[in-house]
Amino acid sequence: MGAAHRAARWPGRCLSCLSGRERRRAVRVSIITVAYKAAATIGDTCAAVAAQDWPDIEHIIIDGASGDGTTDIVAATARPGHIFICEPDDGLYFAMNKGLALATGDLIGFLNADDFFCRRDAVRLLVAAAQAAPDADAVSAAAVNVREHDPWQRTRSYPPTPYAPWMLRFAHMPSHLGFYARRAAVARVGHFDPAIGIGADFDWMVRFFAVEGLRAQPVPQTIVNMRDGGLTNRGFDSRRRINTEALATLRHHGLLALTPLVWAKYVVKALQFVVPARDWPPPPDLRCGPDLPVRE
């Protein structure tokens, strides 16, 4: 029997503290965090969400019955009003779909259990970009990779470049941790397909940009620190599998799928290791996350 906890919602910042314009335009943002045996890092993730200055945030945390103390850490660090589900599941994308099914926000996105918002106004920046581009179906912010055990030492930058569907031919996609889609867009694209494997997030982006013809608005600021590692970043064998799945996904959706193009994306990706991050690190008064020195 799985254990589920749904606490009373807390606005995070009293609505009376907002300007009249902000009160009229306040939107709910759903942030989904999927965890399994993430006790070492999920406290940073939850604390950074709790530090956000946007009033209406729905933090949904899906834990696969880790049994490593994650439950206690979430209770101590998560934003009041969070939703916590702790029960066995069938893997990462099943858990992500569970989060999507629970989300009630106007904007919906993901924040992994080993990553964190690097600035207190990250959600506010996402909302502002969505309000400034009402015809956009999502907003896409910049992100950085950081050392696993030194989470303020940058190793790679994901710039906020405008995204075009032709980039799918290279199996290139926006950073999914800076990507927040409108609720209507999520409904159109649907859930992740767990049968695809570790390329299910690319398949979701193909459906978003190519199948549904939706559009994302870039957000120039860097809002997320992503620790090195993860299922899609584990050496050559992992990249080969990802590219094989990407080619299959492109063919499945009737798009151009050429092996040389898919592998060519690593030429561009190499630049991400030398290009400076945009607006990173954030000013000290906006910074959130682990209290450690910043090292470029």
Tokens of 100: 């999507």
Q: What is residue 24's predicted lDDT score, i.e. its pLDDT? A: 47
pLDDT along the chain (296 residues), means of 10: 36 41 72 97 98 98 95 95 95 97 98 97 98 98 95 92 91 92 98 93 97 97 91 69 94 95 88 89 94 79
Q: What's the pLDDT score for residue 231?
A: 55
Does pTM surpass 0.85?
yes
Q: HEC states along the chain?
A: CCEEEECCCCCCCCHHHCCHHHHHHCCCEEEEEEECCCCCCHHHHHHHHHCCCCCCEEEEEEECCCCCCHHHHHHHHCCCCCEEEECCCCCHHHHHHHHHHHCCCCEEEECCCCEEECECCHHHHHHHHHHHCCCCCEEEEEEEEECCCCCCEEEEEECCCCCCHHHHHHCCCCCHHHEEEEHHHHHHHCCCCHHHCCCHHHHHHHHHHHHCCCCEEEEEEEEEEEECCCCCCCHHHHHHHHHHHHHHHHHHCCCCCCHHHHHHHHHHHHHCCCCCCCCCCCCCCCECCCCCCCEC
Q: Which tokens is 213 given?
A: 């013809």
What is the CATH number assigned to the segment(s) 3-271?
3.90.550.10
Output the pLDDT for position 235. Answer: 65
**The pLDDT value given to residue 255:** 96
Predicted local distance difference test score (pLDDT) of residue 12: 36
